[in-house]
Structure 1
Amino acid sequence: MKVKRIFAPDMRQAMRRVREEIGPDAVIVSNHRVAGGVEIVVAREDEYESAQQELQRERERRREEQVRILTEQRARAVPRQSGLDSELERARLDIAKAREGVSRPEVSRNANRQLAEDDELQSILESLRARQRERAAAGLDEEPPRKKRSVAKISTMPLAEERGPEAGDTEDHLLIRNMQDEIHQLRAMLEQQMRSKAPEVPVSASAQAPRPVSPATEAAASGLKDQLERRFDRLGLGARLSRSLLASIEPGLAIDKAWRNALARLADSIPVVGEEMIERGGMLAFVGPTGVGKTTTIGKLAARYVLQHGSSSLALVTTDCFRIAAHEQLKTFGRILDVPVRVVDENHSLEEVLQSLKGKRLVLIDTAGMNAQDPAGQLQLEMLESVSVRIKKLLVLSCSSQRQLMESAWQTYSPLGLNGCVLSKMDESGSLGEALTLAVEKQMPIAYVADGQKIPDDIGLARRHDLVSRAVVTAQREGERSRADKDRLFRAG
């Protein structure tokens, strides 16, 4: 049985190597991020079970080795009685610092009170020294190794005031806890003493009053916001979102730094799912207008799932029985991936089809894209709302669509209770700001982004900073294209 580890800078390149080196029947046993990229463990589909068992045995061996190393390290760590001595030495240094503070002119008004506290600290220290001398006279400092281990164990317990003496406690254990208690009291007194010595700094009237803003500063801030607003407009962001981002810009910043800060705020405001929804399983319905790429998105995710988990736990469903041969593309995916495809029609309701597939780990549902005002479209919405099986709904939005069409799609399908969205056709769009604005304003988490027709490569998890970077690059590319078109028109004229 062959199990192969493959390293690659990202998952896309890793999957390409899997197909090249193992073939179409490869199954991913495990995958995780490592320094420099990702590591995946793959095997052939007929060897999947034995590969998992071998991987589990390897993990057990690593866990046992870690436990053995940790046990050896603990065995070598012999507790020492010098811990109390170091505490005492620390207390002596703190008392010396406190005495130094008493002699300072700025705290002379507190001298009498601090001297009294020093006397109390000194008495505690003398008590600790006397107990140490008693222990030395009784020979407690020369305990056998077994005694020292018990002392170390007691030292990790709560203080004497938090835990009363228990049966079996020896006199030296109680003595050590009392000494630790007194050391903590000593530290608390020293901290209080240090706080009392902190001088009060009066707040000047100039610091309290707000500084007047000069006309030049106001003009510079206004010019900065105008420049940023123009850049946001080129990204395609909505006016309300742009105003929200501009409101937090600090005046006086250089334009490049202000732009980076604004983009960082934009990234923070974008809601994303942040995990593979197909890994969690369940039933996922993809809704949206006609032509946004619902069926292609399902094909990509289905292929991605089959590469990792095989085809036995996946099923595809289509409710689109209105268009001629609408389900043929999904059936083609099913044949290629060896996955069953169920069609909802007048003889098989959606409820019946989903109940028959409850044994599957993942079910992907393709729906018809229609207008809510159309009777057939209203029937689709009612059918999705009426099923008793829990379905997660993802709205598929084409980034090449206008903002009004995206807004209309959200209004149509939001009554279903959307769990997120998929941004498709990013490679065909001249601006991503419209889709990002809708996601931010409606607080609709973005689950996946798709940017091509390749299956399963051209789809990935939505990540905030990647979306913002892609929006900026798209706007720059579109700006360069517009300038080139203008140049051609100018030369032709």
Structure 2
Amino acid sequence: MKIRRFYGKDMREALKQVKDELGDDAVIMSNKKLNDGVEIVAAYDREPTVSPKHAAPASVPKRKVESTPTLSEIIGDSGPDSLRALLEKQIHAKEASLQTHKPEHVQAQPQRNANPLPVARTAAPRVPQQEDALNEMRQELASLRNVLQFQVAGLIQQDKSRNHPLHGYLTNKLQKMGISQTLANEVVSYTPAKADERQAWLFLLKLLANRIQTEESNLLVKGGIAVLMGPTGTGKTTTVAKLAAQAAQKYGAENVGLITIDSYRIAAYEQISTYARIIGCSVKKAQNAEELSDLLFQFRNKRLILIDTAGFGQRDVRLIKQLETLKQSTTANISSYLVMQANSQYQVMQQTIKAYKQISLQGCIFTKLDECYSLGEAISAAIEHKLPVSFITDGQKVPEDLKVAEAKFLITSAAKLYKKHVLIHTSDNSLTNTAVAV
């Protein structure tokens, strides 16, 4: 598909130029008013044929044949010139044509025959056929529109790559690292104009690190009441045990209390009570908001209280009930933390954050970093939702495999995973150099 621009003092003159030079197969892509006239961008698949002005002499007899509507007939001299308006006009023209050319015997049947049954048998099949034809036409036009939009977007992207080849290279590199396309385009736009490839890449890594939010005073320092929530299988109970164990080492086991409101999972209480027995701290179970409020009052002298919740999918109705239970405990100042697997898909993380934002989130905890092949998806979700990263876990050991989140460490890990799993040819020395450079 090729694209050309035409200029005229008004829309009529510009459309006439399109028709004369490109013929009836041209497609209007866009139009723009200028100070001295109108600009039209038109697309065509093959080279235009000879203009109608240079056709055969009028003396040659012409056959009267039915042809497809010309560009002027479809859009009119002063009609719509955008692709969306053109397609809508084509749909309306086809619908009007079908309504106008209905068989006459179907309309006159009720006057010739008093019995309505033959009319119903004759007309009923034709109506669904016409509706099916219209639906098929709409689908074809919608498909054509999607293809054209995709092609135009590709042309625009190619134009950007030609004008800024380094930007295109860096954007592709960030996306392979797992960074979302939106975030990659945003940070690449800040690349210094005179930077080479290496300088620009290090600049982007530092910029991403600055965009990641972390807690200035983490949970183990400030204490209080914290609830850990998230989808099933993210490691909430294990993370609760790791936090409780580190807090017990720092402040003493008697200053740590555990509460579970997980009444859905089998042996949920037994699992967390086993951890509590090993750590030496207290553990209780709450069935509803009233019991939770009573237990929080009993643990009011504890430095740190951790609440474990049941894991549900984002669309599970039981998730709403659990969130409502926490909302009803308004007398206590509860900090909410979202636990997510760092190796989850980008779209899964997006939907998870949206589902749990019914509760005001203090931060998030990324688990299973040791199972990741890419960390850019988790970084993108945290940055785009402005969700602080509080802790990260990278193993099953309690309490060793729990670390306070640092932006530089997250970006370094993401770059190392990119080097290791995307750039197969890169040596171990390059991995070390990348970590040191960040």
Per the normalisation by structure 1, the TM-score is 0.52
Give the counterpart of 1:312 among 254, 259, 277.
254
Structure whose residues are more often helix by fraction? 1
* 1:333 to 2:311 alignment: no
Superposed CA deviations along residues 184-209 of structure 1, whole A, max 9, x for unmatched, are xxxxxxxxxxxxxxxxxxxxxxxxxx
Give the equivalent residue in structure 2 for 1:369: 311
Give, in angstroms, the shift of residue 468 of structure 1: 0.5
Aligned residues: 267
Deviates more, 1:276-285 or 1:339-348: 339-348
Larger Rg: 1
Question: Measured at CA, do residues 245 and 358 of structure 1 come closer, stay the same or move farther in structure 2, by a change above 3 Å?
Answer: same
Aligned pair partner of 1:223 in 146, 165, 168: 165
Q: What residue is the counterpart of 1:247 in the other structure?
A: 189
Aligned match of 1:428: 371
The whole-number CA distance in structure 2 between the counterparts of 1:407 and 1:437 is: 10
Letter of the structure 1 residue corresponding to residue 299 of structure 2: L
Residue type at the aligned position of 1:431: S
Matched, 1:454 2:397: yes
1:349 CA drift (Å): 2.0
Question: How far did 1:373 drift?
Answer: 4.0
Contact 1:399 1:426 in 2 (8 A): yes
Structure 1 counterpart SS, 2:357: helix
Deviation digits for residues 284-323 of structure 1 (CA, Å, limit 9, x no counterpart): 0001000001111111111111111110110011110111
CA distance in 2, matches of 1:408, 1:435: 13
Match of 1:258 in 2: 200
- 1:491: which partner in 2? none
Secondary structure of 2:366's aligned partner = strand
**Aligned to 2:359, which of 406, 416, 421?**
416
Letter in 2 for 1:366: D
Q: SS where residue 477 of structure 1 aligns?
A: helix
Distance 1:346 1:420, change over 3 A: closer
- Give the superposition deviation at 1:275: 3.0
Mapped to 1, the partners of 2:398 and 2:187 lie a distance apart of 37
Aligned-partner Cα distance in 1 for 2:405–2:411: 11
In structure 2, relative to structure 1, the CA distance for the partners of 1:249 and 1:380 (3 Å cut) is same
Q: Counterpart amino acid of 1:315? A: G
8 A contact 1:271–1:446 mirrored in 2:
yes
For 1:446 and 1:325, how far apart are their aligned partners in 2?
Answer: 30
Query: How far, CA to CA, are the matches of 1:359 and 1:228 in structure 2?
Result: 53
Q: What is the SS of the residue equivalent to 1:453?
A: coil
SS, match of residue 368 in structure 1: coil
Separation of aligned partners in 2, 1:309 and 1:475:
39
The DSSP-based 3-state class of the residue aligned with 2:336 is strand
1:315 partner SS:
strand
Once the two structures are superposed, the pairs formed by residues 391-410 of structure 1 within 5 Å of their partners are: 391-410=334-353
Alpha-carbon contact 2:314-2:352 (below 8 Å) kept: no
Instruction: Let me know the Cα RMSD of the aligned residues.
Output: 2.1
**Structure 1 portions without partners, runs of 5+:** 1-217, 484-493
Tell me the TM-score normalized by structure 2: 0.58
How far, CA to CA, are the matches of 1:304 and 1:427 in structure 2? 20
Partners of 1:346 and 1:482 in 2: how far apart? Answer: 56
**1:189-200 matched pairs, under 5 angstroms:** none
CA–CA distance in structure 1, aligned partners of residues 351 and 302 of structure 2: 34
Q: Mapping of 1:52-63 within 5 angstroms?
A: none
After superposition, the Cα gap between the structure-2 partners of 1:421 and 1:378, relative to the gap in structure 1 and judged at 3 Å, is same
How far is 1:252 from its partner? Answer: 3.1
Find the partner of 1:343 among 285, 289, 292: 285
Aligned residue type for 2:224 = G
Q: Is the 8 A contact 1:221 1:251 kept in 2?
A: no
Identity among equivalent pairs (%): 32
Cα distance change of structure 1 residues 347 and 325 upon mapping to structure 2, 3 Å threshold: farther
